[in-house]
Amino acid sequence: MRLNKYFLAGIALAGLIFTSCNDDDDGGVEPVELRDEREQAVIDDDSIVEYLTTHFYNYEEFENPTPDFDYNIVFDTIAGENSDKKSILESPLLETKKVTYKVNETEIDYNLYVLKVREGVGEKPHFTDSTYVRYKGELLNAEVFDNNINSPVWFDLIGYLYANFNSVGQRQLYREGGVIPAFRESLTEFKSASNYSVNPDNTIEWSNDYGIGALFTPSGLGYFNTPKGGKAYSPLIFTFHLLNVNEADHDGDGVPSWMEDVDGDGDVYDDDTDENGLPNHSDPDDDGDGLATRREIIINADGTITFPDTNNNGTPNYLDADYFQPVEEE
């Protein structure tokens, strides 16, 4: 499950400081010499466009599926007996998503190409949610470096921080979860399956309406200078099935993590109301007033949340350190 294992490199580039909680998070792989991010983005985009121009996917199988079709996306070169195939670049299902990613306080613009073969009909994940996916990762040369296409796994798209003390009593921040930006940015464009059934052998069968897609990403939204599949600065391809979605509340404070993006910039790690080093989505007492966030909000019977502002100062109680009286559930 290298998608989350190698996320550390991307976060470190983004300037977020933390310590990995797993000794083998980098798999023993050392990053190579750092290149200019903007220049590499152009080089990667040229390589991806060339690939999209010279390759096709098995769209005919999706248009007329046989009873035993596995609904996996397969790529091949437009040549020989396939010389009349329509390129991926020509597909009306291919979308170009502009992604701005901050690297060491510098904003870099990337093109992320998403092939939306089927959107899905179930739940659409927020960028902070957990997703249950089948996936395969490969390089532009078709070398497969990660494969869980037959064994779905859960991925926490954004991850969270927690504080602990090291052996000499120093407080440190540790990280759990998170995936590369390209995977998160792509999965949020799809929806899960609408339902599932449990077979007599206890295996799960998903309704055939889950999201099916592929992403083509520059290395800057992937692993960048961390060697992956044997080569650093590699554009990547992921194909996937989005089966299930779980709305995440990482700190268990009653506020879904996506709602803890206070400034609405799509980054929950820069929202730290009490400035204690833990972003709000990782902090059960967002304003640091000593009263847990859960006691300063109201979760209604229908699941909606009310955020009281008792002193009418424009800041809800759970983000207002000057007000710390628990609210009463209705």
72 token code pair: 């996996």
Q: Which pLDDT score is estimated for 10?
A: 37
3-state class (DSSP) for residue 76: strand
DSSP β-bridge partners for residue 19: 174
What domains appear along the chain, each with residue ranges and CATH number?
A: 33-155+181-246 (3.10.50.40), 249-330 (no CATH)
Give the model confidence (pLDDT) of 215-224 as tens digits.
999 999 999 9
Return the sign of the alpha-carbon dihedral for residues 225, 227, 233, 236: negative
326 DSSP 8-state letter? P
CA distance 190 to 239: 13
Is the pLDDT at 261 greater than 90? The verdict is yes
The Cα 58–Cα 183 span in angstroms is 22
Give me the mean pLDDT over the 256-285 stretch: 96
CB 164 within 8 A of CB 174: yes
Query: What pLDDT score was predicted for residue 105?
Result: 78
What confidence score (pLDDT) does residue 33 get? 81
Helix, strand, coil shares of the chain, percent, nearest 5, are 20, 30, 50
Q: Is the pLDDT of residue 1 over 90?
A: no
The label of the residue with tokens 């396939």 reads 82
Assigned token pair, 176: 């759990």
- 330 burial level (CB within 10 Å; 0-12, 13-18, 19+): exposed
Instruction: Answer yes or no: is pLDDT of 102 > 50.
Output: yes
Write out pLDDT tens, residues 144-190: 999 999 999 999 999 999 999 888 888 999 999 999 999 999 999 99
Least confident of 29-38, 134-143, 276-285: 29-38
pLDDT at 168: 87
Q: 15: pLDDT confidence band, cut at 50, 70 and 90?
A: very low
Q: Is the pLDDT reported for residue 307 higher than 70?
A: yes
Name the pairing type of β-strands 75-77 and 55-57: antiparallel
Separation of alpha carbons 24 and 32, rounded Å? 18
Q: Does residue 13 carry a pLDDT above 50?
A: no
Taking alpha carbons only, the member of 149, 160, 138, 174 closest to residue 279 is: 160
Any bridge partners for residue 211, and if so which?
Answer: 242
Question: Tens of pLDDT along 24-36?
Answer: 345 556 667 888 8
Using a pLDDT cut of 70, give the percent of the chain over it. Answer: 89
What pLDDT does 22 receive?
30
Return the SS3 of 174. strand
Mean pLDDT of 304-314: 95
pLDDT of residue 199: 92
Model confidence pLDDT, tens digit, residues 62-92: 999 999 999 999 999 999 999 999 999 999 9
Structure confidence at residue 161 (pLDDT): 96
